[in-house]
Amino acid sequence: MALRTIDSLGDLAGRTVLVRCDLNVPLDGARITDDGRVRASEPTLERLVGAGARVVVVSHLGRPKGAPDPRYSLEPVAARLGELLDAPVAFAPDTVGDAARERAAALGDGEVLVLENLRFDPGETADDAGPRRDFAQRLVDVTGATAFVSDGFGVVHREQASVFELARLLPSAAGGLIADELGVLERLTTDPARPYTVVLGGSKVSDKLGVIAHLLPQVDSLLVGGGMLFTFLAAQGHDVASSLLERDQLDTVRGYLDEARERGVDLVLPTDVVVASGFAADAEHEVVAADAIGASRFGADGIGLDIGPETSERFASIIRSSSTVFWNGPMGVFEFPAFAEGTRAVARALTEVDGLGVVGGGDSAAAVRGLGFDDAEFGHISTGGGASLEFLEGERLPGLEVLGWQ
Ligand code: ADP
Ligand code: MG
């Protein structure tokens, strides 16, 4: 069965609609450093406003510990949303308290209210279903909502109160962002145009192992960069000095190397890396062969922070000659300009793909924008890293199933 659409909710004029967005943007103090997720949420909100609904937006931001924490307030995000919608957006400094109740009641048709960070309440992510259901019920009671639109693609792999329970308490439907994201991901899993290349990077191998297992049988090439490459190099017996290494994953990674060989998949590891004297923006650094990291001039203190130029060139050429590419995870510590070149090379190659080039992952999306690329240069920039990976792994996604997806 397909996702229920907003049309299935009937006439929304004058009705209060709860909308779960993913407004989890990176912040520097109260400054939004990448507003991609706010912009991605805009079309669905505009549509609801246009339908005359009274729109109550809920979202999480960062990882507060179930209690209010001003560092993770959604107030600056509500202000940005107001600028984008070019309309006043009200903000309630609580989720299920008096302010939320009063401001929801004061909404006129076509007006928008943003509630404070859902994760300030422990019910949002509680381990037990009971408190999650109670929190969702309080959101419904306080706002007086009679319909729910789920549009936070980045959280559909979570069984959280605002993702899963709200959808069961109210007539519910998927918003346009979720529908768009799924449309693209389906093109990656159903008969992708070949050659099909997946590029993985980022910090944690253990986050991405499932996707490697699932994708190996499907892809033509799998390129590995980022922090996870060192676990691969170590699995091949190389000394990686002080680079990021997940020892408990070595056996699993060896298994993938064997499987790739048996299946004839091109699992491409870097041949050179940028090794630094420490984890710092101004660390000294040099390019060394991937099998000689321990022999850099920094000895056992050396830490690999980016793929090297030869590897960047090789990855870029494989990407450019592919017809379908999915990329998740920066190739290096792109936050430090000296170690952003590998990520830049992969991003540039992705813009040159003759076919479908998809960027998935919060940090990856922030990286390409931070490096000056324009969203429109890519086939698609997904708002959800974990969610898109789990989809590609073939996992069931509770936040989609509850909207009718099978
Ligand atoms: P995404 O959010 O796109 O899924 P991840 O969260 O998996 O990506 O990883 C992003 C992080 O990986 C970045 O903060 C980046 O600095 C880090 N990273 C990339 N390469 C390395 C490396 N060689 N050593 C340590 N961290 C790295
Ligand atoms: Mg990340």
Phi and psi at residue 82, to the nearest 5°:
-60, -40
Residues of the chain with pLDDT under 70: 1
Query: Which pair of tokens denotes residue 34?
Result: 């990448």
Task: Using alpha carbons, list the distances in angstroms from residue 219 to 135, 192, 198.
Answer: 42, 9, 7
Confirm or reject: Cβ of 302 under 6 Å from ligand 1: no
The verdict on the CB of residue 227 being under 6 Å from ligand 1 is yes
Q: What is residue 386's predicted lDDT score, i.e. its pLDDT?
A: 85
d(CA 39, CA 34): 10
pLDDT, residue 1, reads: 65
386 is catalytic: yes
Q: Is the CB of 244 under 6 A from ligand 1?
A: yes
Task: Select from 333, 336, 369, 371 the residue to mutate for testing ligand 1; criterion: most ligand atoms less than 8 Å from CB.
Answer: 333
User: What's the CA gap between 188 and 241, in Å, rounded?
Assistant: 36
Q: Is residue 333 lining ligand 1, measured as CB closer than 6 Å?
A: yes
Examine the residue annotation and report whether 362 is marked as an active-site residue of this protein: yes
Nearest CA to ligand 1 atom 8: 329
Q: Write the burial class of residue 122 (CB in 10 Å: 0-12 exposed, 13-18 middle, 19+ buried).
A: middle
What confidence tens digit (pLDDT) does each residue in 325-380 have? 999 999 999 999 999 999 999 999 999 999 999 999 888 999 999 999 999 999 99
For the Cβ of 202 lying below 6 angstroms from any atom of ligand 1, the answer is yes
Catalytic-labelled residue, pool 4, 15, 20, 37: 37
Nearest-atom index, ligand 1, CA of 335:
16
Give the distance (Å) from ligand 2 centre to CA of residue 72: 17
66 catalytic? Reply is: no
Ligand nearest to the CA of 206: 1
Burial track 156-172 (b if 16+ CB lie within 10 A, e otherwise) = bbbbbbbbbbbbebbbb
305 touches ligand 1 (CB under 6 Å): yes
Ligand number, closest to the Cα atom of 334: 1
Atom 15 of ligand 1: nearest residue by CA position = 333
Q: State the distance from the centre of ligand 1 to the C-alpha of 227, rounded, in angstroms.
A: 6
Ligand 2 centre to CA of 27 (Å) is: 14
**Which residues have C-beta under 5 Å from ligand 2, the single-atom ion?**
362-363
